[in-house]
A and B are shown apart, each in its own frame.
Chain A
Amino acid sequence: MIRRSLLPLALLASCWLFVSASNAQSGAQSGAQSSAQSGGELRFSIQSEPKSFDPMLADDDSSETVRYLTTGYLIRLNRQTQQLQPEMAASWKVSSTAQSITFELREGVLFSDGTPFSAEDVAFTMRRLMDPALHSPFADPFRSSAGDVKTEIKNPHSITLQFPAPVANLEQLFDGVAMLSAKSAHSDTAGLGPFVVSEHKAGSYILLKRNLNYWKHDAAGKPLPYLDSVRLDVQQNRDLDLLRFRRGETELINTLVADSYDRLAADMPSSVHDAGPSFDTEQIWFNQVPGAPIPDYKKAWFRSQNFRRAISQAINRADMCRIVFSGHATPAAGLLSPANHFWFNQNLHAEVADGPGALKRLAADGFHLDKDVLRDRDGHAVEFSIITNTSNKLRERLAVLMQDDLAKIGIRLNVVTLDFPSLIDRISHSFDYEACLLGLVNVDLDPSTQMNVWLSSASNHQWNPEEKTPATEWEAEIDKLMRAQASTTDNKKRKEYFDRVQEIVYEQAPFIYLVNKNALSAISTSVHNAVPVVLRPQTYWNIDSLYLTPPDPNGRHGE
C-alpha cells in the first residue's frame, strides 16, 4: 500500500489570503457532556508492533497510533469538521508570502512529567525535526528549498519560524509535528497528549494511562480525558480482532473490512458504522520506464494513451464495488475521492464498463481481435502481467475480476501476487514488471502533499520515477501546474490549477483508478461521544472526550 501522511493536513472550505485562527481559547470538545463518567479502559487492536516510539519517525500505522495518543500539536486538524483548530498554539499568523509563521502559545500547559511548555520547546522541536540526518517524513514537506529554519523567540509564549523559501500549505503541516520537551530529563517520553505510555510488552500489548497534566477540560470544567487508560493489543489477524470485538474484549475496530462489516451488521447493527466514501483509492498503472527489462512492443502498448484508456473502459468498476466490497465502495472518477469536497473536480465521472467501446478505442491504435485473442499491429497477442501484494485478499479479488473483464476483450492478464519487499524491489529498483495494482491510503486533503507523486522528477512518480526531464508533454504540463499551485496561497487559483491536473490525469490515465472505499468501523455501544469520520483515525480521533458506560450485565456487549 502506498501510504501517505496519516495525519490529514489541509483545509476544506473557503479561500483565504491570510490565514489566522480565531483567538478562541476554548478547550471544550464538541459533544462533551457533564454527564460523562470518568474512568474505564478503552481497548482496541493495532496490526503490528510499533516500529518506533520516536514521534519524529512514527511512520507506520501502529507507531502513528501511539503518537496520536501521547503527543500534542500546535495546530490540529479537526477530523470531523476538517477545519484547523488551535491546540498548543492559541493563535497563529502566516505571512503573506507563506515564508514565516508566528505562534502565540497557550499558557499554563505542562508536559506529562510536569515540565512547563514554552516557546523554547517549539524551537527545540523544530531543530530536532529539521535535522537533515533524521529524514523525518514530517520534516520533508517543510523543505521547499535548502537552508535552515530560523527561530525567533520574542517571549516565552511567542515564537516566529522563518523558512528560507515559501512553504506550500504551511500551517496544516504542523498537524504532523509533535511537540517535544527541551528541558525534560525524559524528553523521549514526556508528551502533551491525553495519555502516557505506562506498560509495554513487546509484541503483545501497550498500556497507556491518563496524562494527569493534560491541559484540556470539558465545558463543565472536568479535566480530560475521561478514560483512565487505553490498551492497545497487537493483533495482526483481522478475523481474531472481530471475534474479540464480538466477545466484548475490545471496544473498537478502527478499520473494518467490507465482508466483516456485513457479518457484524447482521448481529450487532448498532455497532457498525459506514462513514461514507473515504480518501482511499485502489489503482493500477503500467510501467513506462524507458529502460525497463520488458519487450519493446509492450513498452509501446503501455505508452499509448488509447491503450491505457481502453483498459480503463473495459474494467467493470460497478461489479468490483458490488462483489468485492459488498457495496461499501464507489467507482473512482479520478485521483481524488468525492469526499474531498473542496478539491475534487466535480466535472469528472467514473468510467462505465464498455467492452465494445474499449475495442473501438484499441482499433484506433491498430489492435484487432483475431479469434477471441486481441493482437497488436505486428501480430503479438496482447498478454501482460499485473503484480500486487499478497496480504490483501480484497485486492487479489479485484485483480481476478479485472482478469475476467479483460478476457472478454481478448486480453490475457496474468495475476502475480508477490510479498511486499519483492514488489517494492520490482517497482522501485529493478523496474521488472508490466503493470501493478496497489492502493493509496490518501488522507491528505491538500494537493501540495502529493507533489512527490505528480512531479516527474520525484521518486513516487510511480509509472516512471525520477525522470531527468519530463518524458511527455502532459507530464511537463502537470509539473508546471503543480509548481504553480504550490507557490500561491490563493485557494481559488490553486483549485483551478489542480482541477486541470485532475483532468489531465483522467485523460491520460497514467494511474487507472478503480474504486474509492468507504470508511467502515465498529464501535461498541458502551463507548459514548464517538463520532466515526472519514479521516484517520476514524473512531478515536476525539479520544479525550470518549467515555465508557458499563456494558449491560444481562445482555451481550453492544446488543
Chain B
Amino acid sequence: MNRIRLVAVVFLALTFSAVLLADFVAPAPYAKQFREAPNAAPSAKHLLGTDDLGRDAFSRLLYGSRVSLLLAPAAALLSTLIAACIGGLAGYLGGWFERAALAATDLSLSLPWLFLLLTVRALLPLNIAPIASVTITFALLGVLGWSSSGRVICSGARAIRQSDFVLQAQALGCPPHRLFFKQVLPNLQPVLSAQFWTSIPIFIIAEANLGVLGLGVSEPLPSWGNLLRGLENWPEVKASPWKLMPIVLLVAVVSCFQLVFQKRENLAS
C-alpha cells in the first residue's frame, strides 16, 4: 500500500504544482484563439489539440484545474464545517434544537435552491470579473451543500452523546463546549471526511450543471465545469478521444485523494 500511496502523493504533487505554476507551464494563454486550427488533433504545438475556437486545450485544462482545484475544496470545507456545526450540535444537544435542525435539513434538501442562485446572479453586476462570479457561485454552493450530510452527522452525534465515555466525561464535570470540540467532533471525523471528499467532485460537477443555466464560469475563463460539458457530445468525443483528458484528470485526482487520505484514517483509527 505504501508504494501506491507514494505514487498517489507524487501524482497529486505534480498536478498541483503544474496547476499552480500554470502561468509558466502553459504553452499559450488560455484565451488565445488559434483561428487557423480549430478542433485540431494533438501535435507538438498543441499537446492536447485545440478546442472548437482554436484555443490550446492543454493550457485550458491547466487553468481550468486551477479554478476548480482551489475553489471546490474551499467550498467543500465550508459545507463540511456548517454540517459539523449544525448536525453535530443538533445531535449533541437533542430536544427541540435537534428537531428544528432536522426539519431545517429536510427543507434544505427539498427546496429549489436553483432560484436562489438565479436571484443572486441577477443581483450581481453584469460586468463582474469571471473569477469573482465563480467564487461567489462556489461560496453559495458551500453554504447550501451542508444538508446532504446533516442528518448523518446528527445521527452520529446522537450516538456519541449516548455513549459511555461521554457520560463519564460529563460525570467528571467536563464543560459541554469542551466535550463537543474534544470528544464529539473528533469522533465524527470519518463521516465528516466522507462528506468532504465526496463534496469536492460534486461541487465541480454542480458548477458544470450551473453553467447550463449561465451561473457557472463566464468566458473565456475555463473551468472543469465547462470542460466537462464538452463531453455531452459523445460521437465527437469518440472521434477525438483526447477530449476525455479533463475527466481522466478529475477521476485521477479524486481517486488519489481518496487513496492518500483514507490510508491515514485507517492508521489513525
A–B touching in complex (CB under 8 Å): yes
CB-based contact B232/A419 at 8 Å: no
Give the contacts of B6-36 with A (CB-CB under 8 A). 31, 33, 35
| Contact pattern, B 105-125, Cβ under 8 Å of A = 1, otherwise 0 | 000000000000010011000
Contact A239 B235 (CB under 8 A): yes
User: For chain B, which range describes its interface: under 10, 10 to 19, 20 to 34, or 35 or more residues?
Assistant: 20 to 34
Residues of A within 8 A of B121 (CB): 418, 422
Contact in complex: A263, B54 (CB < 8 Å): no
Given contacts A396-B219, A422-B118, contact A390 B213 (CB under 8 A): yes
Given known A243-B235, A400-B220, contact A390–B212 (CB-CB < 8 A): yes
Q: Find out whether the CB atom of A433 lies under 8 angstroms from the CB atom of B126.
A: yes
Give residues of chain A (383-434) contacting chain B, Cβ–Cβ below 8 Å. Answer: 383-385, 387, 390, 396-397, 399-401, 403-404, 414-419, 422, 432-434
State whether the Cβ of A161 lies closer than 8 Å to any Cβ in chain B. Answer: no
What's the nearest-Cβ distance from chain B to residue A274, in Å? 20
Q: Are B214 and A416 in contact (CB under 8 A)?
A: yes
Interface centre among B52, B126, B211 (most CB of A within 10 A): B126
* CB contacts between A and B, total, < 8 Å: 68
How many Å lie between the Cα of A414 and that of B128 in the bound state? Answer: 8
Q: Which of A239, A242, A263, A319 contacts B35 (CB 8 A)?
A: A319
6 residue pairs, one from A and one from B, having the closest CB atoms: A417-B214, A385-B126, A415-B219, A390-B214, A418-B214, A400-B219
* Cβ–Cβ contact A401 & B214, under 8 A: no
Selected A-B contacts with CB under 8 Å, 20 pairs: A239-B232, A239-B233, A239-B235, A242-B235, A259-B236, A263-B235, A263-B236, A323-B52, A323-B54, A384-B127, A385-B126, A385-B127, A400-B219, A403-B220, A404-B33, A414-B127, A418-B121, A418-B214, A419-B213, A422-B122
CB contacts (< 8 Å) of A419 on chain B: these are 118, 213-214
Q: In the assembly, what is the distance between CA of A418 and CA of B54, in Å? A: 24
> B38 an interface residue at 8 Å Cβ cutoff?
yes
A123 → B minimal CB distance (Å): 47
CB-defined contacts of A242 to chain B, threshold 8 Å: 235
Out of B33, B127, B130, name the residue touching A401 (CB < 8 Å).
B33
Q: With an 8 A cutoff between CB atoms, is B245 at the interface?
A: no
Q: Which residues of A contact B213 (CB under 8 A)?
A: 390, 419
Query: How far, in Å, is A267 (CB) from chain B's closest CB?
Result: 10
A323 with B127: CB separation less than 8 A: no
* Bound Cα distance from A61 to B126, whole angstroms: 31
Q: Residues of B at under 8 Å CB distance from A? A: 31, 33, 35, 38, 52-54, 118, 121-122, 126-128, 130, 211-214, 218-220, 232-236, 239
Interface secondary structure of B, over-half rule? loop
> Looking across the interface, which residue of chain A has its beta carbon closest to that of B232?
A239
Is B218 in contact with A417, judged by CB distance below 8 angstroms?
Answer: yes
Q: Which residues A249-307 have CB closer than 8 A to chain B? A: 259, 263
Cβ contact of A323, chosen from B38, B220, B236, cutoff 8 A? B38
Assuming A415-B219, A418-B214, what are 4 further A-B pairs, CB within 8 angstroms? A323-B35, A400-B219, A403-B219, A414-B126
Q: Which residues of B contact A416 (CB under 8 A)?
A: 126, 214, 218
Task: Judge whether A404 and B127 touch: CB under 8 Å.
Answer: no
Residue of B nearest to A391 (CB): B212
| Chain A residues near B232 (CB-CB < 8 A) | 239
Select from chain A the residue with minimum beta-carbon distance to B125: A385
Evaluate contact between B52 and A387: CB separation under 8 angstroms: no
Within the complex, the shortest CB–CB distance from A293 to chain B, in Å, comes to 10
A284 CB → nearest B CB, Å: 15
Q: How far is the CB of A432 from chain B (nearest CB, A)?
A: 8
CB contact under 8 A between A434 and B235, given known A319-B35, A400-B219: no
Q: Residues of A at under 8 Å CB distance from B?
A: 239, 242-243, 259, 263, 319, 323-324, 383-385, 387, 390, 396-397, 399-401, 403-404, 414-419, 422, 432-434
Which residues of B sit under 8 angstroms from A417, Cβ to Cβ?
Answer: 214, 218
In the assembled complex, the Cα of A397 lies from the Cα of B54 at a distance in Å of 11
A434→B126 contact, CB < 8 A: yes
Closest Cβ of chain A: how far from B127's Cβ, in Å? 5
Q: A239-B233, A323-B35, A416-B214 are in contact. Are A401 and B118 (CB under 8 A)?
A: no
**Partner among B52, B118, B214 whose Cβ is within 8 Å of the Cβ of A397:** B52
Cβ of A390 to closest chain B Cβ, rounded Å: 5
Residue of A nearest to B130 (CB): A414
Q: Which residues of A contact B211 (CB under 8 A)?
A: 390
Contact B235 A399 (CB under 8 A): no
Measured in the bound complex, the distance between the Cα atoms of B53 and A433 in whole Å is 26
For B213, the closest partner residue in chain A by CB is: A419
Please, how many angstroms separate the alpha-carbon atoms of A414 and B126 in the complex?
A: 8
User: A239: which B residues are within 8 A, CB to CB?
Assistant: 232-235
Q: How far is the CA of A354 from the CA of B128 in the complex (A)?
A: 29
Find the A residue at minimum CB distance from B233: A239
CB of B168, distance to nearest CB on chain A (Å): 56
A397 to B39, CA, bound (A): 13
List of A residues within 8 angstroms of B53 by Cβ = 323, 397, 400-401
Smallest CB–CB gap between B129 and chain A, Å?
A: 8
Residues of B within 8 A of A404 (CB): 31, 33, 220
* Residue on B nearest A433 in the bound complex, by CB: B126
CB-CB under 8 A from B122, the residues of chain A are 422
Distance of B196 from chain A, by nearest CB (Å): 30
Chain B residues with CB below 8 A from A259, complex form:
52, 236
CA distance A422 to B214 in the complex (A): 10
Q: How far apart sit A263 and B232, CA to CA, in the bound complex (Å)?
A: 15
A contact residues around B234 at 8 Å (CB): 239
A243: min CB distance to chain B, Å: 7
- Kindly list chain A residues whose C-beta atoms are within 8 Å of the C-beta of B235: 239, 242-243, 263
Q: A434 vs B128: C-alpha distance in the bound complex, in angstroms?
A: 13
* B203 to A: closest C-beta gap in Å: 20
**A387 and B219 contacting across the interface, CB-CB below 8 Å:** no
| Other-chain contact of B218, A397, A415, A433 (Cβ < 8 Å) | A415
A432 vs B33: C-alpha distance when bound (angstroms): 30
The chain A residue sitting closest to B33, CB to CB, is: A404
Residues of A within 8 A of B236 (CB): 259, 263
Contact B35 A399 (CB under 8 A): no
> Could you say which residues of chain B place their CB within 8 Å of the CB of A319?
35
For residue B38, which residue of chain A has the nearest CB?
A: A323
Residues of A within 8 A of B126 (CB): 385, 387, 414, 416, 432-434
Task: Give complex CA distance A323, B220 in Å.
Answer: 17
